[in-house]
Amino acid sequence: MKILFILGPNLNMVGIRDRATYGTETAESINADVQRFADELGVELEIYQSNHEGDIIDKIHAAYGNTDGIMINAGALTHYSYALADAISSVHIPTVETHMSNIGAREEFRRKSVISPVCIGTIAGFGKTSYFLGLRALEDHLGKKENVK
């Protein structure tokens, strides 16, 4: 099972930016923990981070036909990138939206996700554990899908 984990703009700065919201653990250490968890699940995980919307869209398009699932924390793109939502929708790859913070409890502009409608589910508000939960949920969803064939 191959899963692509996409991290959007500014998520490379976790541990440095807005520590009250995201904590002090670095992006590198969080990614290493997520990779270890994927290994324990027996999931092939590719972690990809970009600060550029078009690069993220290209990565989603490139996943078509060779990736079983996508987990994404789109950062601020979550709230306004209809192009990203269209990319997710166009590839027909089950996608789970994740956020370290509870976007529903943050600033008004962060409370709406334009990508949620094209994702199979959303997990938010549990810090890096959101990524573990998202990965586990996607792995479970894909396993059930394989058993239906």
Q: Does residue 95 contact residue 69 with C-beta atoms inside 8 Å? A: yes
For 13-38, the pLDDT digits (tens) are 998 876 676 667 899 999 999 999 99
Q: With 60 as the cut, is the pLDDT of residue 110 above it?
A: yes
149 pLDDT above the threshold of 90: no
Catalytic residues: 22, 99
Query: What b-and-e string marks burial along 45-72, b requiring 16 or more CB atoms within 10 Å of the CB?
Result: bebbbbeebeebbebbeebeeebbbbbb
Cα-Cα-Cα-Cα dihedral of 48, 53, 58, 62, to 10°?
Answer: 40
How confident is the model over 105-124, as a mean pLDDT? 90
Please report the pLDDT score of residue 108 as a whole number: 84
What pLDDT shows up at residue 114? Answer: 97
- Which residue in 62, 60, 58, 34 sits closest to 47, CA to CA? 34
Q: 75 with 106: CB under 8 angstroms?
A: no
Check residues 101 and 142 and name the one with the higher pLDDT: 142
Mean pLDDT taken over the chain: 93
Q: What is the pLDDT of residues 50-64, one digit of tens each?
A: 999 999 999 999 999
What's the one-letter identity of residue 18?
Answer: D
